[in-house]
Structure 1
Amino acid sequence: MGCLLPIAYCLCLWEIRKGLPGNFVETRSSYFYKSSHFLRSSYFITALAPFSTSNGGGETKHHEGCTVRLLRRRCRRPQVSDAAGEVVEVGSGVNSFKKGDKVVGMLSFLNGGGLAEFAVTTMAAMAIRPPEVSPSEAAGLPIAGLTALQSLKAIGIKFDTPNNSSNILITAASGGVGHYAVQLAKYAGLHVTATCGARNIELVKSLGADEVVDYKTPEGAKLKSPSDKKYDGVIHCATNIPWSTFEPNLSSSGKVIDITPNFTTIAASILKRITFSKKKLIPLMLVSKSGEMEFLLNLVKEGKLKTVIDSVYPLSKAEEGWAKSISGHATGKIIIEI
């Protein structure tokens, strides 16, 4: 098989090939999101996942919570890491999946690989997709959904027991991570304040947010709650908001979870720890967990969580879809269809 594009892991309508290492699975995809060792490209639907590029400051800009090395380097290719598909072959050590299983998961978010028909992935990177969940709905979940879920857990939110009354702020709430975070926070019984652009206020309200603020207004820029509530936690999905803006809006032990951490975030986080500050800044390091992926899929299956799809592009126009993703103006997820 030739190497048409880079890809590391892909999930959608995938086709597995023979001779795989023991714990690997190869698949033919229908929907993708991001990865790095391309095998072949034909039909599949790719959900464009967030992807990292270098900005002029030498730090890495992250999209949708994709945490990568903070190096000064340019990204030479789209790195799509989310995918949903069908298993066509498994390695000898694979015992959780079999040929014909419909799966979804996250490829290597360092290298991508989702813009392909075929991909190889590990057992830990994917989960069975219920028939009630469409490939396009599933393909948007892995990075953005897991980032939202793990951010809430980092604040201390639980999903198996009732939570104390907590006030949560979610910035960039109409984006890929943000729109999942709003829904998951409401599912957990939290009071949600959200920021977004004026055109998306009604959408974010429909997802369950209790208060929605236009980030371009003076109050929105200050991140103030319209009801003057202090935040027990913040899921920070935007960029370029300093700690000094968050701090006066936090409760006495409030936490800010930064899903796009850079050197400044990490340094500030360390400083908060060594000074024993009760208010904390926590950089999120996303980890792929199949159990959490199954939890999200079940919520979608039960109608308690949905993927908002901004737009769908054919593979021939994947570059346009990628450009929209990088522009930061997408509402929800972008899907690439083959």
Structure 2
Amino acid sequence: MASLPKIQKAIFQPDKMSTDVVMINDHPVPNINKDLGEHLIQVKATAITNGELLWTKNFPPPAHLVVNKVLVPCNDVAGVVVDGPASSPFQPGAEVYARSNYVRTGCAREYSVLVTEEMAERPKSLSWAESAAVPMSAETAWQALFVHAGVEARSGSADGLKVLVTAASGGVGVWMTQLAKWAGAEVIATCGPRNIDSVKVLGADEVLDYTKTSVKEWSQKGGNQVDIVLDCVGGAALADSWWAAKEGATVIGIFQPPSSTRPDELREKNVKNLFFIMASNGTQLKQVTELIEHGSMRPSVDSVFPFADFQQAFSKVKSGKASGKVVLEVAHQ
């Protein structure tokens, strides 16, 4: 193995109470513990998740799980294995991607650390930037539909079911739409007017322009009801989604607990509801890779910025105007 530098460039968050980030040039290249399944990764690209700069403040991880964490953001990553355990399926040179656990230092740096169980070989049909946009979004959608909603993870398993996806043009929404359609569901999706055509291309059977028609209004026209609600935005959209859920339906939120928005008029409605935070899972990500390689699915990338332009990238995410993931190219391709 060629000698590695001892220090690297990294994006750093000086204060967990603030969303300010800076570039530092003297962040140490990490040492790995191979006994724990750790791999050193040369980062090619990493994607930003909306709101992640507030996670440590709002959702502090248990102290016993945090091991030498430095406030480097971005846990979605695609890169090349530099070193790892001899028994690992991901040997040096392997092109991988993953959603790293946020209790560890993030991946907005030239070299980062991944563990075996969160990794998968990246889809070779995608660019590095597109690969980095996949893990968190796709795994969240996979777990919402195939774990928490109880749909079997195979083509045709959702035949006869109706699924509502809110914010279907966002990073997670595009995966929920594609996976639900692949499983055979009739998909009703919401988005803004400029994304209607792109959401239809993803496979949505009906697309609601939320600026013109609310889900509540839609549900009250002709008694429209769905079996599963997959909500990606929370707030009023999630509250309205309760009206579209039929008796015995499941409402899943990834932004906030659905119970917090349940309308008073629907307190007695028999609807299962839950909120969850995705868990990195390389086995699920491998299945997503296979769907991508078969040409069935694609990620949604809003924009790609050079590493040096990280401030513009974070500003784009903060603006709320990104349609899909915002990605940083860390290494020259």
Query: If the length of structure 1 is used for normalisation, what is the TM-score?
Result: 0.77
Number of aligned positions between the proteins: 294
Aligned to 2:286: 294
- Is 1:48–1:82's contact at 8 Å kept on the other side of the alignment? yes
- Is 2:317–2:326's contact at 8 Å kept on the other side of the alignment? yes
Helix, strand or coil at the partner of 2:113: strand
The offset of 1:128, in angstroms, is: 1.4
The offset of 1:179, in angstroms, is: 0.9
The offset of 1:239, in angstroms, is: 2.3
| 2:49 is the counterpart of 1:49 | yes
Match of 2:225 among 222, 225, 230: 230
The offset of 1:217, in angstroms, is: 1.9
Q: Distance in 2 between matches of 1:134 and 1:253?
A: 42
Match of 1:208 among 203, 210, 213: 203
Match of 2:309 among 307, 317, 325: 317
The offset of 1:278, in angstroms, is: 2.9
The offset of 1:90, in angstroms, is: 0.7
Match of 1:159 among 153, 158, 166: 153
| 2:81 is the counterpart of 1:102 | no
1:157 aligned partner, one-letter code? V
| 2:49 is the counterpart of 1:30 | no
Moved more, 109-118 or 201-210: 109-118
Helix, strand or coil at the partner of 1:251: strand
1:312 aligned partner, one-letter code? V
The offset of 1:53, in angstroms, is: 5.0
Deviations 1:143-176 (A, max 9, x none): 1110111111222222236334111111111100
Match of 2:108 among 115, 132, 141: 115
- Is 2:219–2:243's contact at 8 Å kept on the other side of the alignment? no
Match of 2:75 among 71, 81, 92: 81
- Is 2:10–2:72's contact at 8 Å kept on the other side of the alignment? no
- Is 2:101–2:280's contact at 8 Å kept on the other side of the alignment? no
Match of 1:306 among 288, 291, 298: 298
**Unpaired runs of 5+ in structure 1?**
8-15, 33-46, 61-67, 270-274
The alpha-carbon distance between structure 1 residues 251 and 112, as it changes in their structure 2 partners (threshold 3 A), is farther
Helix, strand or coil at the partner of 1:169: strand
Computed over aligned residues only, the root mean square deviation of the Cα atoms, in angstroms, reads 3.1
The alpha-carbon distance between structure 1 residues 277 and 315, as it changes in their structure 2 partners (threshold 3 A), is same
1:52 aligned partner, one-letter code? E
Deviations 1:8-39 (A, max 9, x none): xxxxxxxx97763422111111011xxxxxxx
The alpha-carbon distance between structure 1 residues 276 and 212, as it changes in their structure 2 partners (threshold 3 A), is closer
Q: Percent identical across equivalent pairs?
A: 27
- Is 1:19–1:91's contact at 8 Å kept on the other side of the alignment? no
Aligned to 2:23: none
The alpha-carbon distance between structure 1 residues 238 and 225, as it changes in their structure 2 partners (threshold 3 A), is farther
Moved more, 105-114 or 150-159: 105-114
- Is 1:214–1:220's contact at 8 Å kept on the other side of the alignment? no
Query: If the length of structure 2 is used for normalisation, what is the TM-score?
Result: 0.78
| 2:14 is the counterpart of 1:20 | no
Q: Distance in 2 between matches of 1:317 and 1:112?
A: 21
**Unpaired runs of 5+ in structure 2?**
1-5, 13-28, 63-69
The alpha-carbon distance between structure 1 residues 105 and 156, as it changes in their structure 2 partners (threshold 3 A), is same
Deviations 1:302-324 (A, max 9, x none): 11010122111111111111121
The alpha-carbon distance between structure 1 residues 242 and 135, as it changes in their structure 2 partners (threshold 3 A), is closer
The offset of 1:330, in angstroms, is: 1.0
Deviations 1:159-218 (A, max 9, x none): 236334111111111100001111111111111111111111111111111111111224
Match of 2:143 among 144, 150, 153: 150
Deviations 1:78-129 (A, max 9, x none): 621111111111135x422211111110112345512111011211111112
The alpha-carbon distance between structure 1 residues 261 and 241, as it changes in their structure 2 partners (threshold 3 A), is same
Q: Distance in 2 between matches of 1:88 and 1:53?
A: 28
Aligned to 2:183: 188
The alpha-carbon distance between structure 1 residues 310 and 226, as it changes in their structure 2 partners (threshold 3 A), is farther
Higher relative contact order (Cα pairs below 8 Å, separated by 6+ residues):
1
Match of 1:141 among 134, 137, 148: 134
Helix, strand or coil at the partner of 2:236: coil
Aligned to 2:194: 199
Q: Distance in 2 between matches of 1:173 and 1:225?
A: 21
